[in-house]
Amino acid sequence: MQRHALIIDDNTKNLNVLANVLADENVSNTQVTNPKLLNNALQHVDSVDVVFLDLEMPGLSGYDILEMLHADARFQGVPIVAYTVHVSEMNNASQHGFHSFIGKPIDPDRFPEQLARIFSGERVWEVA
């Protein structure tokens, strides 16, 4: 069965780069560019195997969204990955309960191994 990722990022360029690398790994995705439309998008998704969440977006921060996802039973046990250029946020992301942290821009050579480790349950805390 194909795995499915939820990508929440207001920057469409970063979102498309991640979506393409996920597609190379046979992972389908749902993209949300406006975090206020997250609940709308989730109505059309059966299951999510991993979430990539930008930390800095207009309106709602990644930390706000993380709190919402942790309160949603559908996301119990789903790794939520902080995906951000703000590598200085690594400790803060850990304290807030993110499963993993991958700095932007992603390294397409390292990403397949990082993704495999996340899917195996390992926490990945790496910056480019």
- Name the residue range of residue 8's domain: 3-120
At 128, the pLDDT band (50, 70, 90 cuts) reads low
Q: How many domains does the chain have?
A: 1
**Residue 1 pLDDT:** 79
Note the pLDDT tens digit of each residue in 11-56.
999 999 999 999 999 999 999 999 999 999 999 898 999 999 999 9
State the pTM of this model.
Answer: 0.96
Residue 51 falls inside a structural domain: yes
Q: How many residues does the chain have?
A: 128
Residue 127 falls inside a structural domain: no
By percentage, how much of the chain surpasses pLDDT 90? Answer: 91
* CATH number, position 34: 3.40.50.2300
Distance of CA 34 to the CA centre of its chain: 14
